[in-house]
Structure 1
Amino acid sequence: MLPKLSKHHVIADKASGIPPACFDYPEKILQFGTGVLLRGLVDYLVDKANKQGIFQGRVVVVKSTDGSTADFDSQDCLYTTNIKGQEKGQLVNRRLINASIARVLQSNADWSKVLEAVRQEQLNIIISNTTEVGIQYVEEKVDGVVPASYPGKLLAVLLERYRHFNGAADKGFVIVPTELVVDNGRLLKDIVLKLALFNEMEHAFVQWINTANTFCSSLVDRIVPGKPKDLAAQNEAAGYEDGLWIDAEPFLLWAIEGNAAVAERLSFKQADERMLVAEDITPYREQKLRILNGSHTAAVTVGYLSGLNTVYECMQNPVMKRFFDTVVLEEILPTLKDLGPQTEVFAKDVLDRFANPFIEHKLISITFQQSSKTNARNVRTIMRYYDQYKMLPPMITIGFAASLLFLKPARQEGGKFQGKRGDTFYDYNDDNIAIFAAYWHGVNIVDKAAVAAMVQQVLGDSRLWETGLHEVPGFADAIAEHLFGMLQQGVSVYVSNYSKVH
């Protein structure tokens, strides 16, 4: 029987890289959430810094969901992070033990301990990931009770801090939400202040929230699949039992909007240049939206309708690999030169991430809200590319046409539209599918003129696109040509033949 991962285990094993002093570091971070993203990104960075003697602080975690914390308690809050994937063209598979977490508290059962932790002077950072739903305004009382919402809990924590230190101006927090919401820091602050007003908090406390605390918007980017399917085999290879084991890709980015004082407080950033603090993180959000998300959206329906099922399969297919490479490096990247030189590095990292054999990213999942994502991610790229080169981006244009084909319903079952790939039907998760169904209805797919007329109507629909795509010179004709070719030849054959001559 394997021994349980424990403090005793890592102290005895010098290869763990964890200096015994790590366990005596003070608690500096209050973290709301035990999820794999926080453990694979934020806590990974804290642990990395601690091992280098930089931050010298640990994390006290608040478990927001009901249930025991025994899984953490039983192994001294230690866990394995197995970094697996492709980095600069090379496969990476390295294992490390994370010792950043000091303890885990259950938000309901241990609320008094949470408030007690806030009284520690050195605990001056708050980080959260409560999912996008977590940053919502809920009218509730927060004083003397356990608030239900995360903003409610945060307000109660701030109140406890304010009271304990008598409103001292230097005892505020740096507060960094990591939920995938644009301007998450500003949004969280607005909700907390609104909730303070609902609770009729004293003016001096509200002023303290505003002036002594810094709410920082942030952008996180790392795929953390979590517990591996072959956990027993991984434990056997490691020589210990770890029920909290997580896998994570090599890539990471954590961009935080803040000033020099924020950077100084978050000193664990010094351990990894991929964590950064900047006055404006818009360029990092934009590069993720256009390059990572945009290339996904441009290529997903081409790959799926060609018979492939995952992003990794696409990167192993010569035609689709070239498609991704061209979209990322030749069509999107040139339109983002104003974002800075880091964008080219990011673009190459994205292609490495797509080629990660350890992550099963299903194409059908990526088609969620395909039409609105095409509008949000790629329409502006098409316009920028045309303005810059006076021509259309070839592969993104093909991807757009494939999206129209993907959104051509084959049948309606139980009031829901379904598409068809080969002999298999697939479900739509697209709020605009009824609009596309109406456009496709009655179109003779072997009549090139009929297909072109339908395309012209779709591209001119202001409900779908932020700009009139039918007015972009040559775009409607190119989409109609590609779409008609795919309808007659099939997507795989058409794209393969097109790639050979372009």
Structure 2
Amino acid sequence: MLPRLNRQHVVNHPALGISEDHFQYPEKVLQFGTGVLLRGLVDYLVDKANKKGLFSGRIVVIKSTEGEAGAFAAQDGLFTTHIKGVAQGKPVDQYLVNASISRVLQSNAEWEAILETVAQPALEIIVSNTTEVGIQYVEEDIAAGVPASYPGKLLALLYERYRRFNGDPGKGFVIIPTELVVDNGQLLQEIVLKLAAFNKLPEEFVSWIKTANRFCSSLVDRIVPGKPKNLSECWKEAGYEDELWIDAEPFLLWAIEGDAAVAEKLSFQQADERMLIAPSITPYREQKLRILNGSHTAAVCLGYLSGLNTVYECMQDAFMNNFFKKAVMEEILPTLSALGPQTARFAQDVLDRFANPSIEHKLLSITFQTSSKMNARNVQTILRYHDAKGLLPESICLGFAATLLFLKPAQEVNGKFKGERKGEYYGINDDNAAVFAKYWQAVSSPEYAEVAAMVNAVCGDRKLWETDLAKLPGFTDAVAGHLTGMMKHGVKAYIANYSRVI
């Protein structure tokens, strides 16, 4: 029988890189959430720094839901991160035991203990990932018990910290939300201040929130699938059982808006160059939106309608692999040169991530709100490419046409539209589905004239694209040509016989 991962096990196995000293480090980070993203990103970076002697601090975790806290206690906060995939064209397969978590406290059952954590002078950093819904304003009395919302809990802890240290301006926190919301740090601060006003807290405390604390917006990017399906096999290979095991891809990015003072407190960032602290994180948000998200959106409907089901399958298909490479390296990347030289490496990292066999990213799930995503992620790329070269990005034009075909309804039931692939129906989960259904009513046959008229009307709809794409020279002709060909011959046959289009 295999032993359970715990403190004794790692101390007795020096090769794991964890000594008894690691368990004596003070708590420097307060973390809201035990989710796999935080464990695979923030906790990974803290642990990496500790093993390099760059931070010497641990994480106390607040968990709002029941479950798993017992597993952390049973394993002394330890868990395995299995990093596998492709990085810079080379396979990666690495097991790491993480010793960054000191304890996990359940907010409802252990609120008094949570309040005590902020009495520790060494505690200087607060991170969170409570999902996008977590950063919302909820009117509540923070003195009436355990606050329900994350901003409510945060305000209560800030007030406790303020009282414990008599408003010492040197005892504020660096507060970093990782929720996928633009300007998440600024939004969180605004909500906390609004909630402080609702609770009629002292003006001196409100001033302390503003001057002694730093709310830093951040951008996170790492796919952390969580527990593998073959967990028991992983245990055998590692030589121990671990109920908290997580898988993670090799790539990571954590960009934080801050200055030298923020960087000084976040000293664990020295352990990994992919944790970035910069005056603005807009360039990193832009490169992710255009390259990773944009190429996904350009390719997803084309890949799905051609009979493929995951991003990995696309990268194993000769045509779709070439589509991704051309879209990323030749069409999107040239429009982002102003963002700096790191963008080219990010582009290659994206292609490596798409080719990771360990990640099952279903194409149909990516089609959610595909028309809005096409507008937000690719329309500006199309326009910039044309402005710079006087040409159209051929791959993205083909992807745009496939998106229109994906949005062609084959069935409507109770206001819900469904498309058809190989005789099977799929859901069209798009707020603009009815709009596209109306445009498609004008097409009774796959004849170019009918299709082109519909494409011209769609491209000219400013509500969809925030610009008149019909005025872009050659765009509607290119899209209509692809769309007609796919309708007449089928998507798979069209891209097989007309591969010259990319």
TM-score by length of 2: 0.99
**1:428 matched residue in structure 2:** 428
The whole-number CA distance in structure 2 between the counterparts of 1:440 and 1:448 is 14
The whole-number CA distance in structure 2 between the counterparts of 1:295 and 1:303 is 12
Counterpart secondary structure, 1:170 = helix
The whole-number CA distance in structure 2 between the counterparts of 1:68 and 1:139 is 29
Question: 4+ runs of 1 displaced by more than 4 Å?
Answer: none
The CA deviation string for residues 4-39 of structure 1, in whole angstroms up to 9 with x for no partner, is 100000000011111221110000000000000000
Contact persistence 1:67–1:106 (CA under 8 A)? no
Deviation of 1:184 (Å): 0.2
Contact persistence 1:105–1:114 (CA under 8 A)? yes
The whole-number CA distance in structure 1 between the counterparts of 2:452 and 2:346 is 37
The whole-number CA distance in structure 2 between the counterparts of 1:287 and 1:461 is 27
Contact persistence 2:263–2:269 (CA under 8 A)? yes
Stretches of structure 2 lacking an aligned partner (at least 5 in a row): none
**2:413 matched residue in structure 1:** 413
Letter aligned with residue 399 of structure 1: G
Contact persistence 1:141–1:199 (CA under 8 A)? yes
Query: Aligned ranges for residues 460-499 of structure 1 at < 5 Å?
Result: 460-499=460-499
**2:319 matched residue in structure 1:** 319
Counterpart secondary structure, 1:175 = strand
Letter aligned with residue 239 of structure 2: G
Contact persistence 2:394–2:501 (CA under 8 A)? no
**2:217 matched residue in structure 1:** 217
**2:71 matched residue in structure 1:** 71
**1:82 matched residue in structure 2:** 82
**2:437 matched residue in structure 1:** 437
Contact persistence 1:66–1:108 (CA under 8 A)? no
The CA deviation string for residues 294-317 of structure 1, in whole angstroms up to 9 with x for no partner, is 000000011000000000000011
Letter aligned with residue 149 of structure 1: S
1:296 matched to 2:299: no
Contact persistence 2:442–2:450 (CA under 8 A)? no
Query: Aligned ranges for residues 275-424 of structure 1 at < 5 Å?
Result: 275-424=275-424
Deviation of 1:239 (Å): 1.1
Contact persistence 1:60–1:104 (CA under 8 A)? yes
Contact persistence 1:68–1:106 (CA under 8 A)? no
Change in Cα spacing, 1:344 to 1:21, as seen in structure 2 (3 Å) is same
RMSD over aligned CA atoms reads 0.9
* Residue correspondences, number: 502
- Which deviates more, 463-472 or 214-223? 463-472
The CA deviation string for residues 90-126 of structure 1, in whole angstroms up to 9 with x for no partner, is 1111101000000000011011111100100000100
Contact persistence 2:410–2:420 (CA under 8 A)? yes
**1:105 matched residue in structure 2:** 105
Counterpart secondary structure, 2:234 = helix
**2:138 matched residue in structure 1:** 138
Deviation of 1:68 (Å): 5.9
Counterpart secondary structure, 1:80 = strand
Counterpart secondary structure, 2:197 = helix
Letter aligned with residue 275 of structure 1: M
Letter aligned with residue 47 of structure 1: D
The whole-number CA distance in structure 2 between the counterparts of 1:418 and 1:144 is 49
Deviation of 1:414 (Å): 3.5
The CA deviation string for residues 188-243 of structure 1, in whole angstroms up to 9 with x for no partner, is 00000000000001100000000000000000000000000111111111111100
The whole-number CA distance in structure 2 between the counterparts of 1:286 and 1:446 is 37
**1:50 matched residue in structure 2:** 50
Deviation of 1:144 (Å): 5.1
**1:195 matched residue in structure 2:** 195
Letter aligned with residue 282 of structure 2: T
